[in-house]
Amino acid sequence: MVKKMFHFSTRTVNYIILLTFGLILAPVAMAQAWPSKPIKIIAPVPPGGGVDILSRAIAQKLQVTFDTPVLVENKAGASALVGTDFVAKSPADGNTLLMGYSVLATNKFLVKNLPYDLDRDLIPVAYLGYIPLMLVTPPSFAPNSVSELIALLKANPSKYFYASGGAGAGAHLSAEMFKHMTGTSMTHVPYKGNAPALADVVSGQVPIMFDTMTTSLPLWRSGKLKALATTGPKRSALAPELPTMIEAGVPGFEMSAWYMVFAPRKTPTDVIEKLNVAINKAITEPALVQQMAKMGVTFVGGNASQAEEFLKSEVSRWETVIKAANIKAE
């Protein structure tokens, strides 16, 4: 048997070595180059609501940090499903993010045949913070307190309507929980986002809504809305004259909307970490803290693992509430 010997020139050997190292280091180089193109934050709601406002505030901060354009794109519809599914199916390169909110934890139990899997397709980047809701009505609506509203609803079963930014959103769940805990009945009118829902409450077309303080507070202060109570565990510093729902006679009623940035699940870990650090830096900047505090937002922050743990706790909590109250999505 004759053994074949292969002889390579020094130049060829060097080329093979460089090629090998190049293949090994290519992913590292790509990660280090991020971001190499504009970043897009998908707000799964129409312009004007709390999710949209916060998306744009965070986008401005990330744009400065990464010295690259950070754009906000509104993809509203189907209780945030349209925008959420878009991000879930986007390339996992860190260039497409989702401004998620409370509805993501509830859609899992309220929507049949979700087009995405929350655990498999999306990963939390950072838990931004939370905001209590306000129970609001048009100024012309008769009740001036929660107890008066309950009495009116009990005297007129199913006569009145309430608005929400979509099935499964905080406004929807709050109203359904309110009905369950007070033995009242109202008819749900879902909209494609809080902004159009709130507009119809202001105009008097729909008389009742639980809305985030971000958008309702200025309208209440200007006299365009009447506020009956807030939904946090204690009175809000922004509206100390308003009772909580608990103080107003609905024991155990507590509800807050939360905001969280997500990315496609397979986004590189180092990119997630860079985004998390940048977001945590942004939400400690005094100007942004003051800006959002005026609208009721309390920032939390923390690392990506803590965000994921919080998300799991919310999913577990709302599974219990939704099943106990027999809440159904329209």
Q: Is residue 12 part of a domain?
A: no
Max mean pLDDT among 193-197, 230-234, 262-266 falls in 262-266
In a shared domain, residues 110 and 122: yes
In a shared domain, residues 176 and 190: yes
In a shared domain, residues 44 and 119: yes
Identify the residue with better confidence: 138 or 8. Answer: 138
Is the pLDDT at 31 greater than 80? The verdict is: no
pLDDT-above-90 percentage for the chain: 68
Look-up: residue for tokens 């986008």?
59
DSSP string, 162-208: EEESSTTSHHHHHHHHHHHHHT---EEEE-SSHHHHHHHHHTTSS-E
In a shared domain, residues 138 and 226: yes
pLDDT category at 287 given cuts 50, 70, 90 is very high
pLDDT category at 5 given cuts 50, 70, 90 is very low
Is the pLDDT at 149 greater than 90? The verdict is: yes
- 3-state DSSP assignment of residue 311: helix
In a shared domain, residues 313 and 274: yes
Q: Is residue 60 part of a domain?
A: yes
Question: For the domain that residue 205 is a member of, what is the CATH number?
Answer: 3.40.190.10
227 contacts: CB under 8 Å, gap ≥ 6? 134, 135, 136, 216, 220, 239, 242
Residue 119 has what pLDDT?
94
Select from 190, 214, 230 the last residue of a domain: 230
Q: Is residue 17 part of a domain?
A: no
Q: Is residue 251 part of a domain?
A: no
Q: Is residue 30 part of a domain?
A: no
Is the pLDDT at 68 greater than 80? The verdict is: yes
Residue 193 has what pLDDT?
82
Residue 237 has what pLDDT?
85
pTM of the model: 0.76
In a shared domain, residues 302 and 290: yes
Distances from the Cα of 84 to the Cαs of 98, 145, 317, in angstroms? 7, 37, 21
In a shared domain, residues 122 and 136: no
Select from 211, 230, 249 the last residue of a domain: 230
Mean per-residue pLDDT of the chain: 89
Identify the residue with better confidence: 318 or 222. Answer: 222
CA distance 302 to 279: 9
Q: Is residue 113 part of a domain?
A: yes
Residue 30 has what pLDDT?
46
- Could you tell me if 81 and 110 are in contact, meaning their C-beta atoms sit under 8 angstroms apart? no
- Could you tell me if 259 and 99 are in contact, meaning their C-beta atoms sit under 8 angstroms apart? yes
> Where in the sequence is the domain holding 51, given as residue range(s)?
36-130+257-325
In a shared domain, residues 43 and 58: yes
Buried b / exposed e along 287-322 (16+ C-beta atoms within 10 A): ebbeebeebbbbbbbebbeebbebbeebbeebeebb
Q: Is residue 53 part of a domain?
A: yes
pLDDT category at 1 given cuts 50, 70, 90 is very low
Residue 27 has what pLDDT?
46
pLDDT, one tens digit per residue, over 32-54 is 589 999 999 999 999 988 899 99
Is the pLDDT at 116 greater than 90? The verdict is: yes
CA distance 266 to 14: 34
In a shared domain, residues 212 and 286: no
Look-up: residue for tokens 């006679």?
249
168 contacts: CB under 8 Å, gap ≥ 6? 79, 103, 106, 107, 110, 111, 329
| Region 179-185 average pLDDT | 94
In a shared domain, residues 40 and 71: yes
In a shared domain, residues 208 and 281: no
Is the pLDDT at 206 greater than 80? The verdict is: yes
- How many CB atoms are located within 10 Å of the residue 189 CB? 18
Question: For the domain that residue 124 is a member of, what is the CATH number?
Answer: 3.40.190.150
Residue 33 has what pLDDT?
86
Select from 193, 213, 230 the last residue of a domain: 230
| Region 86-102 average pLDDT | 97
- 3-state DSSP assignment of residue 323: helix
pLDDT category at 286 given cuts 50, 70, 90 is very high
In a shared domain, residues 89 and 174: no
| Region 117-145 average pLDDT | 96
pLDDT category at 20 given cuts 50, 70, 90 is low
Q: Which residue from 192, 163, 196, 215 is spatially nearest to 76, judged by alpha carbons?
A: 192
Q: Is residue 250 part of a domain?
A: no
Identify the residue with better confidence: 283 or 298. Answer: 283
Look at the chain and report how many structural domains it folds into: 2
Residue 6 has what pLDDT?
44
Is the pLDDT at 241 greater than 60? The verdict is: yes
The Cβ-side half-sphere exposure at 4, using a 13 Å CA radius, reads 1
